[in-house]
Amino acid sequence: MSRVTSYLYIRIATVSGLAVAASTVAAQRPEAAVAPVQVISGPSPAASDVARLSAILARADTLAAGNRVRDAARLYWSVVAEQRKAAEYPANALRRIALMYFVVDEEYIAADVFMELAQSAAEFGDATTRLRSLFDAALMYQHLGRTDRVAECVHQIWPLLKSPSIPSSIRADFMARMIDR
């Protein structure tokens, strides 16, 4: 079965006085190797565990590409659960889940998963992923008309845009996307 390259286009949204410009996220890229499971803190997992979880992610990617969302989600969530149990950072699996749901027009679920990724990123001290996840969630909630959830995201985004832990080029990029009206 061949994989199809999918690109997500998150639409321009206006959020309570803020203009949020479009961002593009690659959902699946067949020419790229499957990214290994990311570990940020704690003892390093055994190479066999990393390889096994990466293989599960690859299988889930194949199922998602074949539009078998339920089966893919089950595998992705199994990786998330296993990584959480081992106190590892499930960033790759959570991002893939969110993107998969966005591709199948389940934006509410995708936005909620981005929020979960933002929370996990905060727990592991990954401010850049937290910023990106909150931004993606805000765009999706805006599209869904959930201004309350957009405001929640924006409230968390503004301090991140002043954080020295986020590279200045990334801060500038997101600042350019969020313009005070």
All structural domains of the chain, each given as residue ranges with its CATH number in brackets, are: 6-180 (1.25.40.10)
pLDDT at 178: 80
pTM to 2 decimal places: 0.74
CA dist 44 and 109 (Å) reads: 31
Q: pLDDT per residue over 68-99, tens digit each?
A: 999 999 999 999 999 999 999 999 999 999 99
pLDDT of residue 8: 29
- Taking CA atoms, 160 is separated from 36, 77, 153, in Å, by 27, 28, 11
What's the CA gap between 158 and 177, in Å, rounded?
12
The whole-angstrom separation of Cα 158 and Cα 113 is 20
Question: Tens digits of per-residue pLDDT, 4-60?
Answer: 222 223 333 333 223 333 333 333 333 333 444 554 445 556 777 889 999 999 999
Helices (H), 22-126: 47-65, 69-85, 91-103, 107-123
How much is the pLDDT for 89? 96
